[in-house]
Amino acid sequence: MFSVDESLTLKIVITIYFLLLLVMTIFLGRKVKTYEDYNIASRNVSMFPLILTFVGTGVGGATLLGYTENGRVLGMGQMWIHITMLFAVIVLASFFLKKIRLIGEEYNMVTIGDFTALKYGEAARIPTAISFLFAYCSMTGMQFVAIASILNLTIGLNMTVGIILGWLFLSFKTYVGGLKVVVWQDVIQGLLLTAGIFILLIAVLQQSDSFSQMIINAESMGEKAMLSVTNITPKEILVYLLTLACYQFIRQDVWQRIWAAKSLNTAKNAYWISMIIAIILGAITILIGIYSKYGLNIEVEETSLTFYYVVQSVFPFALVIFMIVILLAAVISSADSFFIAGSSSIANDIIKPNVKTKDDKEMLKYSRLSVVIVSVVSLIMALTIPGLVNLMVTGTAMSVSGLLVPVTAGLFMKRVSKVAGLYSMWAGLITAIIWQILGHPFELHPIMIGLPVSLIVFILASQINNKNNAYHY
């Protein structure tokens, strides 16, 4: 894909970029002194960095690579990903965010496990942690693979070596700095990827056929439906709504940033602004994929490489280098956020309740140990599981199946049954896992079975356990 001289130039630029991030990590990491510094960024993050860390977390390598491919292969119907996401953002910002913030402030919460333990007892930490670990370890492992893929295509590095290199780099960065460093590095990376995607869109529009000509081009291929937002089935829309959209309500990395904000207004305004930006950026990448086929008329050997083909088609090599850095920024900004969200579950919901220490420095050590644990599990998954993307989607579905009902009930109901919440978590999680193992019987996604089971169990158990001492007020 790149000549020897181009690969050498890319190798130098990528190395410099990695070194700059490492230097920044070491410098900022020295300011991380406490457990809350590490896991919740000291609860004093201001508006501008909070906006960019939300953007950096929400727009990852999967956005640039996956959505451009989806746009090319599946067409305009993929916009429903962002339509359902917009619905989730509106609901979360309007109804969830204030409650999440206030209860987190009152009880100094670090993870969603703190919330479920408050509402449903300490035993609720375990299914909560399992739900998040499965999802976040697979997401983190995906980023190791994504970095390896980029390095393989740009400088010819072996995939296994690239995965290990990505693992070492991201593990060290997260181990040293925690969420505090993640947030401040996202300021740089969030700016880079936002600017880069808009610049790419402008270049694509300038060099592409008009939309009317694109319709003619699509008709000549017998693919006019690809340019319609109705080019998707209701079932696919429902899956997007129940997985990617509903997952926003229980994303630990989102809750942690809401608690990390210096005030409620900061959290609310930053979330609104950042999510609108993220949704727009996601929609743009789908458009770029569509334009690559019907507007730029680019021939692509592998659809997964659509982003690279577009960049090389519309930019001189100097800007291609910039876009590769943008792609790395997107991957890294998501990866370390997933990393710290997963490790927080181990430190806060598994280790802390069992060691029962009040020593802050000791808990900081356990937090860093938790990063190592997530790191190793994610590496094993990246090296041994070929369908990591499917695993990530499944992990998301399991988290929603187990946690959406009890978490939502805990936020909005005046009293909840502790037994009902605990049973609901386990029932939804286990049902989704079994449905996945069985291979989606009747072509039903695990979320379509696990979530209803969780809801039914919660309702029935609440009715059965109606004694006053079974409730949390």
Farthest CA pair distance, the chain:
74
Cα 298 to Cα 68: distance, rounded to the nearest angstrom = 13
User: What's the confidence (pLDDT) of residue 439?
Assistant: 87
Cα 340 to Cα 329: distance, rounded to the nearest angstrom = 17
Helix-strand-coil percent breakdown of the chain, rounded to 5? 85, 0, 15
Cα 73 to Cα 96: distance, rounded to the nearest angstrom = 35
Cα 75 to Cα 222: distance, rounded to the nearest angstrom = 13
Cα 196 to Cα 201: distance, rounded to the nearest angstrom = 9
* Predicted TM-score (pTM) of this structure: 0.92
Mean pLDDT of 80-104: 95
Cα 326 to Cα 12: distance, rounded to the nearest angstrom = 15
User: Does pLDDT of 38 surpass 90?
Assistant: yes
| pLDDT tens string 147-162 | 998 999 899 999 999 9
Q: 323 and 341 in contact (C-beta within 8 Å)?
A: no
Cα 408 to Cα 119: distance, rounded to the nearest angstrom = 11
User: First CA to last CA across the chain, in angstroms?
Assistant: 61
Q: How many other CB atoms are found less than 10 A from the CB of residue 360?
A: 14
User: Which residues are CB-contacts of 89 (< 8 A; sequence separation ≥ 6)?
Assistant: 248, 271, 272, 275, 276, 279
Cα 140 to Cα 378: distance, rounded to the nearest angstrom = 6
Tokens representing 428 are 């939804």
User: Does pLDDT of 471 surpass 80?
Assistant: no
Cα 171 to Cα 165: distance, rounded to the nearest angstrom = 10
Q: 173 and 340 in contact (C-beta within 8 Å)?
A: no
User: What's the confidence (pLDDT) of residue 387?
Assistant: 54
User: What's the confidence (pLDDT) of residue 284?
Assistant: 96
User: Does pLDDT of 304 surpass 90?
Assistant: no
Tokens representing 411 are 């936020």
Q: 363 and 344 in contact (C-beta within 8 Å)?
A: no
386: pLDDT confidence band, cut at 50, 70 and 90?
low
- Alpha-carbon torsion angle 447, 448, 451, 454, nearest 10: -120
Phi, psi of 416 (to 5 degrees): -135, 145
Cα 300 to Cα 21: distance, rounded to the nearest angstrom = 33
Place of tokens 């809750």: 255
Average pLDDT, the chain: 91
365: pLDDT confidence band, cut at 50, 70 and 90?
very high
Mean pLDDT of 1-25: 92
